[in-house]
Amino acid sequence: MNDTDVQHSAEALWEHWQQSRRMAELPAPGRPSTRAEGYAIQSRLAAVSGQRVAGWKIAATSPAGQAHIHVDGPIAGRILDQRVVTSGASFSLEHNLMRVAEAEFAFRLGRDLAPRDRAYDIDEVMAAIDALHLSLEVPDSRFHDFTVVGSAQLIADDACACWLAWCPEVSADWRGLDLATHVVHGHKNGTAVATGSGANVLGDPRLAMTWMANEARAYGAGLRAGQFVTTGTCIVPIKVVPGDRVHMDFGVLGSIDAAFE
């Protein structure tokens, strides 16, 4: 792929995003076949959008999630600043293909984790975190069937990023908790429908955060102070339709809510 191919693919994806349209796959020669090519298009997509990168998301952090979209590992995407809202927001599902809500931990960086040759370890990464937030992702895809296009095209499509709600930073002593075993409950219309834990995101949200730091180190410009990373769903995604309300209960850490129209 050359720079023109990258630009054309980024523009096509952004046009489909803006117009709520879908494609079968990216046309050749702008169809990525590697992670590096996928991230090159994703980076250009953010530039084409004209929006600031507020943070990052990780998708497919569990074996079940990877099997569902037929990838062999997690993938990362950028969260654009105009796609971040606060807890209690109402989301339109009119053009949303996936129609699910996900409960996630989100870490905010207090300092940069810049690109370098040596991998980051978990202690270095967590030392760079200055806050934990609770988040609720409402993903979507610009492909008709996102389960068959493969990891490179899913990465190009921003790892199915769409909307993210989040809460003010957690005031409880989250560093003193074992986030891997921390239980999260998902409720829909007042009924408990899903239960999971931090172990569903690469074994531990801290490990997922470390994976993200190294993915950005290897394929991009690293992570920047002030950005956040939402580390993947702790529960099986909750299917939603217009009229539903969801409540994600993180116990002593708090809760987050959303409505759908």
DSSP codes joined into one string, 168-228: SPP-S-GGGS-TTT-EEEEEETTEEEEEEEGGGTTTSHHHHHHHHHHHHHHHSS-B-TT-E
Say how many CA atoms lie within 13 Å of 28 toward its Cβ.
1
Q: How far apart are the first and last CA of the chain?
A: 40
Token digits of residue 156: 């190009």
Q: What's the gap between Cα 155 and its chain centre? A: 11
- How far apart are the C-alpha atoms of 193 and 252, rounded to whole Å? 20
Under the banding of pLDDT at 50, 70 and 90, the label for residue 152 is: very high
Nearest of 246, 248, 244, 242 to residue 92 by alpha carbon: 242
CATH of domain 53-260: 3.90.850.10
Percent of the chain at pLDDT exceeding 90: 99
pLDDT tens per residue, range 100-143 = 999 999 999 999 999 999 999 999 999 999 999 999 999 999 99
Under the banding of pLDDT at 50, 70 and 90, the label for residue 169 is: very high
Under the banding of pLDDT at 50, 70 and 90, the label for residue 182 is: very high
Ranges of each domain in the chain: 53-260
Under the banding of pLDDT at 50, 70 and 90, the label for residue 38 is: very high
pLDDT at 126: 98
pLDDT at 110: 98
